[in-house]
Structures are given as C-alpha cells and as structure tokens.
Amino acid sequence: MGWNSLDDMDLNGKRVLVRVDINVPVEDGRVTDDTRIRRIAPTIADIRAKGGSAIMLAHFGRPKGKVVPELSLKPLVPALEAAFGTSVTFIERPSREAIDALPADAIVLVENTRFSAMEEANDPQMAGFLATLGDIYCNDAFSAAHRAHASTEGVAKLLPNCAGRLMQAELTALESALGQPERPVTAVVGGAKVSTKLELLGNLVAKVDNLVIGGGMANTFLAAQGIDVGKSLCEHDMTGTAVEILEKANTAGCTIVLPTDVVVAREFKAGADNETVAADACPADAMILDAGPATVEAVAEVLAASKTLIWNGPMGAFEITPFDAATNAAASKAAELTKAGTLTSVAGGGDTVAALNQAGAAESFTYISTAGGAFLEWMEGKTLPGVAALEK
C-alpha cells in the first residue's frame, strides 16, 4: 500500500480538507439518487470520530470556470445532512477564519470548485489557497482521480495527505484485481465500440488469462475473422486493429472468448422476434443483439475456473428484453461464485453498474466501482494523478 489511510493520520483538532464526488442527479432542487453521498458518509464519520472537522471540496456539473447559480452545491445540503445525520455548513466564499470560527467537529461544504477556471487548470495559486483552509488533505473521490485539478492533485502535494474510506476501498479492490491478483484472471469487456476501449483491450491481453469480449465490439472481432455480421453494429474500419489485438493476446498467452452463437433480430426493440444462430450464420438482413446460450455456457465455465474477475460493459443490448439474457446469466454466475468464496469480482463503469443492478447481481460482487473514466483509465494501465499525488 503506497498511500496513507485515515488510520495513519492524527486528526485530533485538525481541519481536514476532503475531496469528495457528490456530482449527483438533481431535479427541481432535490437529489434523486444519493448513492455517491451515502458512500462518503463513513469517511466523514471517521474524521469526526478522530476529533477532526471535515471541509468538503467538490465539483458539480460543468460550469467551465464561471459562477453558474444552477450548478451551486447548496441544494445538496439537505441530502448530505440526511446521510450524515447532522448539520452541514455551506460556505460560498471560504476562508480559514470562517472555518476556524466553527465548532471543532463541524462539517463544511465549500461551493463548487469548478466555479473557478483555476480548478481545472490545476493552478498553483488555487491549490495554495485551498491548502490554507485545512491542516490535512484527504482524497475520497476516486471517480475524479483521473483529473489533475487543483482540488484533486495540486493541493494534495501541499499538505500531509491520505485516502478516505471510499478511495481506500477502491484502491484495495483494484490492486487485488490487477495489481497482485490471484490467478487465473478473467476480464469481461463489453460495450458498443472497439474504438472507445482500444487501450483497455491492449493493456488487458498482457495482464489477464482470459478476455471475454461481448456487446457490439464482439461483432467487430467476428468481422475481423471474415464473418458476415449482417446489419449488426460493427466498426468495419477497426477490423485490422481487432486482428492486432487477437495476435497480441496469442503472443501473451491470453485466451480470447468470442461468441460462438448469437441472438439476432430484424428490429432493435423490446420483445422483437428473434432467433439464435451460429455466430457465423447471421442473416444478411438481421443484427446481432446478444450472445447465445452456448456462449453463455462457455463463459460460465471460464468464470468457474477463475479466481479473479474484472468486468466492464454488458454482453449484449441489455437495455431491452430479451437481449439482456447473456449479461444477466453471466452476471448471476459471477455473483454465485463470489458468494461461494471462489471468485474475487470487481466491476466498474456506468453501463456495467446498471447492467449488474438489473441482473440483481451487483450486491454479490466483491466490489462495484461507481467511477467511470477513472476506472477505465486504471484498467488501461494509466497513472491517475489524484492517486499518484497520495503516494508516500
């Protein structure tokens, strides 16, 4: 572990700057999903239990360096108070004097950091100002750790720093999945396009034992092998790249699992008439919308023989029935193996979380990352500035 946790810090009497991600959906001034807020509650509670006060720094939306009243963090205060079980003080223009005038165990929410253009520019002046507001810096926003901003990276270098409980859980889970994993390691990667996950696929084939490719990107890999995929979503201009990935996997000893049978339909809508055919027998007027039962069985066998699973992206058009079957079945198998204690399962990415929740499997996974871009960049093998800044 190359970073400090809250357990390594003396917080008694200290003002702790906590970078959080509370970029939550709001409608008519009310938070409609408080998941991200609830996930930072343990960090805030621990800081107060150790005698410190929490000064929360956060962004909201994309104000692009200007004050946009509709993107103020103030409407989030009631949801924060409900999650924390205590009052939260909102400060529009923070100063150390204003913060020191508050009780020793106060919880403070500072206005949207992105109201200043210096935030996203990682301006040393803003980082220096933020450092005056606290004695210790705690980053609990893994989902913003891929951004080198003043509140995620700049200020971390100016104060004694540590990871919050959510960041700690995230880093621990990711280290167990790709850093020092128990083998065999299997990655399930789905989604629409190969082009959006090129670096991800290139990094994974060198690190995992099995790579299951699903969703629309599987069609591109099938096409790369000379298979006619009909009217399916397919990046025909990426077939050369798909061949390169297949060759790289072969050299690295990584087994790539592609659909051997597929579910096809003529319409992209729920309940559309469909049939299951061999992967190389898609009718010219049809499109592949899911992996078939034989493929699901093969994936289940790979999962059963694995010790570690990393999952990003659905295996089919999971948004519409019955083309969610492969994703649901594979997710259920992974959940079953995880509950049995034979598999460590880590998943992340927006569509992934939605798909696993829909399958009723999310709660049984070892760890579900709510981060999107940061999770993907970590899987791509990139250094995340917000994490690197915490390195001892």
Q: Is 64 annotated as a binding residue?
A: no
Q: Is 197 annotated as a binding residue?
A: yes
Nearest to 288 by CA among 260, 330, 246, 329: 260
Q: What is the pLDDT of residue 132?
A: 98
Q: What is the pLDDT of residue 152?
A: 98
Q: What is the pLDDT of residue 326?
A: 97
Query: Is 231 annotated as catalytic?
Result: no
Q: Is 19 annotated as a binding residue?
A: no
- Quick: pLDDT tens for 177-198: 888 899 999 999 998 888 888 8
Q: Is 301 annotated as a binding residue?
A: no
Can you tell me the distance from the alpha carbon of 225 to that of 232, in angstroms, rounded to the nearest whole number?
A: 15
DSSP per-residue letters across 239-308: HHHHHHHHHHHHHHTPEEE--SEEEEESS-STT--EEEEETT---TT-EEEEE-HHHHHHHHHHHHT-SE
Q: Is 21 annotated as a binding residue?
A: yes
The residue-averaged pLDDT of 154-169 equals 97
Query: Is 193 annotated as catalytic?
Result: yes
- Residue found under tokens 């990426």: 238
Q: What is the pLDDT of residue 115?
A: 98
Query: Which amino acid, residue 7?
Result: D
Q: Is 36 annotated as a binding residue?
A: yes
Query: Does pLDDT of 66 surpass 60?
Result: yes
> How much is the mean pLDDT over the chain?
95
Q: Is 59 annotated as a binding residue?
A: yes
- Quick: pLDDT tens for 234-290: 999 999 999 999 999 999 999 999 999 999 999 999 999 999 999 999 999 999 999
Catalytic residue selected from 2, 13, 271, 350:
350
Can you tell me the distance from the alpha carbon of 13 to that of 9, in angstroms, rounded to the nearest whole number?
A: 12
Cβ atoms within 10 Å, residue 179: 10
Q: Is 22 annotated as a binding residue?
A: yes
Helix, strand, coil percentages for the chain (3-state, nearest 5): 40, 20, 40
What are the tokens at 387?
């994490």
Do residues 174 and 354 lie in contact, with contact meaning Cβ atoms separated by under 8 Å? no
Which conformational region is residue 353 in: left (phi greater than 0), alpha (psi within -120 to 50 degrees), or beta?
Answer: alpha
Nearest to 79 by CA among 20, 15, 36, 17: 36
Q: Which residues pair with 257 in a beta bridge?
A: 212
Q: What is the pLDDT of residue 253?
A: 97
Catalytic residue selected from 50, 193, 248, 307:
193
Tell how many helices (H) and how many strands (E) occur in the chain: 14, 17
The residue-averaged pLDDT of 353-379 equals 89
Query: Does pLDDT of 380 surpass 90?
Result: no
What are the tokens at 74?
């103030």
Q: What is the pLDDT of residue 18?
A: 98
Domains of the chain by range and CATH?
6-166 (3.40.50.1260), 181-379 (3.40.50.1260)
Q: Is 352 annotated as a binding residue?
A: yes
Catalytic residue selected from 14, 15, 19, 36:
36
The residue-averaged pLDDT of 299-320 equals 96
Angle formed by the axes of helices 239-252 and 215-224, nearest 10°: 90
Q: What is the pTM of this model?
A: 0.87
Greatest pairwise CA separation for the chain in angstroms: 72
- Residue found under tokens 């720094």: 57
- Quick: pLDDT tens for 192-230: 888 888 889 999 999 999 999 999 999 999 999 999 999
Query: Is 36 annotated as catalytic?
Result: yes
The residue-averaged pLDDT of 131-159 equals 97
The residue-averaged pLDDT of 64-77 equals 96
Question: Regarding predicted confidence, which is higher, 21 or 178?
Answer: 21
Query: Does pLDDT of 1 surpass 70?
Result: no
Query: Is 269 annotated as catalytic?
Result: no
Catalytic residue selected from 65, 202, 372, 373:
373
Q: Is 142 annotated as a binding residue?
A: no
